[in-house]
């Protein structure tokens, strides 16, 4: 049994995602595709446009075999934390042979070489990074300059196969999917994972493109759903003629009766949360990825009542982008603390596996998760500390022009301690230890908040985490 993994948001699912699943199976020769998906909140610091169960059903109806939830604290984290958590989830399942991701680059060797440098952080690179940050560059700009300086070094350039400063480095490091792909590569290297790294050249619209095409960006679909739709008792009625060419037919049916949520729908909840924290005199630096200077800016503007987007716009600076501010506000809103994040990282990000749904044909895969002796891989080594030596570049990695399938190693694999598998919310108390159960309940709180806002907006009775069953298609 061969299995490929994908880390995704599907916000919402579209033709490009269906293409990736299909192509990932073709490239790897996989029997199954496991998706580690963000839940009700996503990495750009916003609520998902549709709830996690709707989006999981979209994926399962369009080629995915099993959909698992990334814990919300890391689903809304930086690109590095998002990638590290998604990779940890797939790696620790013990059944995933390859991690596949889309990129604007499509060249896994180039991405892996950069990931190696960023993992090792050679002295020259560290010094140049510090210098460029002092010069006032943003972190992405400073990182690019530092990499260019390092790659131009004579010792490094001596290798004929080495990436050089003129090899499109700027485009490589400025494209969103490339950036995330490099983080996936870093995560695999740091874990010394046996999962293969596979990248697929992104088709169609760019990440931020707002035009609907056969292979659109998720942003284009969100823009249409939120700006060009009207709602009635039957749900949303977008311009289905335009949308029908951009999403698979089963997804179009699911969208037809769904209600989209945006950050603006959480504006009042955020205002109440900031007021309550101010009254309690609780420092905003308690929360995940909220540094002291940003916390001070947020605190000073607590009484400047505005929508979620306007708050972000007022708080952003050269140092803190709109997305970074939005994530910080979301972490405050959802009670995501820095302490909680550190504890979870110390335990390798994942303490349980939340199954959102699966296809009936994939029952052998689910059985393998329930009984790891069926199909297990070597337990991952503990994460490397920053600056330590990473593993060598993963072998047999492939890009867009790879052969039809990979020949995965069939070496015997050591058993790994299985992660608790949660298919019913009510079972969690009996299968999780105290620490994991506390984490799970905090995650439930975040989903229940999403469901409360959705119920208020739609006027419908919305199922909660205890009354929503695992999806089987």
Domain end: 124, 156, 174, which one? 174
Looking at the structure, do residues 81 and 115 belong to the same domain, yes or no?
A: no
Domain end: 344, 379, 411, which one? 344
Per the structure, the count of domains in the chain is: 3
- Taking the CA atoms of residue 111, residue 116, residue 117 and residue 121 in that order, the dihedral angle to the nearest 10 degrees is 140
Looking at the structure, do residues 156 and 116 belong to the same domain, yes or no?
A: yes
Looking at the structure, do residues 387 and 238 belong to the same domain, yes or no?
A: yes
Q: How far apart are CA 96 and CA 5, in angstroms?
A: 6
Q: How far apart are CA 79 and CA 138, in angstroms?
A: 16
Looking at the structure, do residues 222 and 320 belong to the same domain, yes or no?
A: no
Give the number of other Cβ atoms within 10 Å of residue 281's Cβ: 6
Q: DSSP string covering 370-433, please? A: HSGGGS--PPPPPPPPTTSPPPPPPTT-B-TT--SS-----------PPPPEESSGGGHHHHS-
Looking at the structure, do residues 236 and 337 belong to the same domain, yes or no?
A: no
Tokens matching residue 412? 């015997």
CATH of the domain at 55: 3.40.50.620
Q: How far apart are CA 182 and CA 197, in angstroms?
A: 10
Q: How far apart are CA 290 and CA 295, in angstroms?
A: 6
Which residues form the domain of 138? 109-174
Looking at the structure, do residues 81 and 131 belong to the same domain, yes or no?
A: no
> Which pLDDT tens digits describe the chain residue by residue (473 residues)?
899 999 999 999 999 999 999 999 999 999 999 999 999 999 999 999 999 999 999 999 999 999 999 999 999 999 999 999 999 999 999 999 999 999 988 889 989 999 999 999 999 999 999 999 888 887 878 888 898 888 887 555 545 455 665 556 777 877 888 999 999 999 999 999 999 999 998 765 444 444 545 676 788 888 888 875 444 444 455 456 678 888 999 999 999 888 999 999 999 999 999 999 999 999 999 999 999 999 999 999 999 999 999 999 999 998 899 999 999 999 999 999 999 999 999 999 999 999 999 999 999 998 888 765 444 333 333 333 333 333 322 223 333 333 344 444 443 444 445 799 999 999 999 999 999 999 999 999 999 999 999 999 999 999 999 999 999 99
In which region does residue 95 sit, left (phi positive, over 0), alpha (psi from -120 to 50) or beta (all else)? alpha
Domain end: 294, 324, 344, which one? 344
């Amino acid at each position: 049994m061969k299995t490929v993994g994908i880390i995704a948001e599907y916000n919402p699912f579209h033709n490009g995602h269906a293409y990736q699943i299909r192509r990932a199976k073709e490239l790897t020769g996989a029997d199954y595709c496991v998706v580690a998906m963000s839940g009700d909140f996503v990495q750009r610091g916003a609520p998902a446009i549709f709830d996690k169960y709707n989006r999981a059903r979209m994926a399962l109806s369009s080629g995915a075999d099993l959909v698992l939830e990334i814990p919300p604290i890391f689903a809304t984290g930086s690109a590095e934390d998002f990638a590290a958590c998604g990779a940890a989830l797939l790696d620790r399942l013990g059944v995933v042979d390859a991690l596949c991701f889309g990129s604007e680059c499509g060249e896994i060797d180039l991405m892996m070489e950069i990931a190696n440098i960023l993992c090792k952080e050679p002295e020259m690179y560290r010094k140049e990074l510090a210098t460029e940050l002092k010069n006032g560059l943003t972190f992405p700009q400073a990182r690019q300059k530092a990499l260019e300086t390092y790659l131009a070094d004579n010792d490094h350039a001596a290798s004929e196969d080495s990436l050089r400063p003129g090899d499109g480095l700027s485009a490589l490091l400025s494209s969103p999917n490339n950036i995330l792909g490099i983080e996936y590569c870093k995560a695999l290297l740091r874990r010394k994972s046996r999962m293969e790294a596979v990248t697929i050249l992104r088709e169609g619209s760019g990440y931020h493109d707002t035009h609907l095409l056969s292979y659109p960006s998720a942003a284009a679909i969100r823009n249409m759903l939120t700006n060009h739709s009207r709602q009635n008792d039957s749900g949303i009625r977008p311009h289905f003629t335009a949308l029908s060419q951009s999403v698979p037919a089963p997804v179009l049916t699911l969208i037809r009766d769904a209600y989209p949520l945006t950050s603006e729908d959480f504006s009042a909840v955020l205002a109440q949360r900031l007021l309550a924290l101010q009254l309690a005199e609780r420092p905003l630096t308690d929360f995940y990825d909220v540094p002291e200077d940003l916390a001070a800016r947020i605190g000073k503007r607590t009484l400047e009542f505005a929508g979620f987007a306007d708050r972000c716009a007022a708080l952003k600076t050269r140092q803190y982008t709109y997305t970074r501010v939005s994530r910080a506000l979301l972490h405050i809103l959802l009670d995501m603390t820095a302490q909680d994040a550190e504890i979870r990282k110390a335990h390798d990000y994942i303490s349980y596996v939340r199954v959102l749904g699966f296809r009936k044909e994939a029952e052998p895969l689910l059985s393998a998760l329930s009984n790891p002796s069926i199909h297990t891989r070597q337990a991952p080594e503990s994460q490397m500390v920053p600056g330590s030596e990473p593993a060598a570049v993963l072998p047999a990695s492939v890009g867009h022009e790879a052969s039809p399938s990979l020949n995965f190693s069939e070496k015997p694999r050591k058993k790994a301690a299985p992660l608790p598998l949660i298919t019913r919310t009510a079972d969690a108390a009996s299968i999780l230890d105290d620490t994991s159960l506390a984490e799970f309940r905090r995650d439930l709180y975040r989903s229940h908040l999403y469901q409360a806002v959705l119920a208020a907006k739609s006027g419908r009775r919305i199922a909660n985490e205890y009354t929503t069953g695992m999806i089987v298609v």
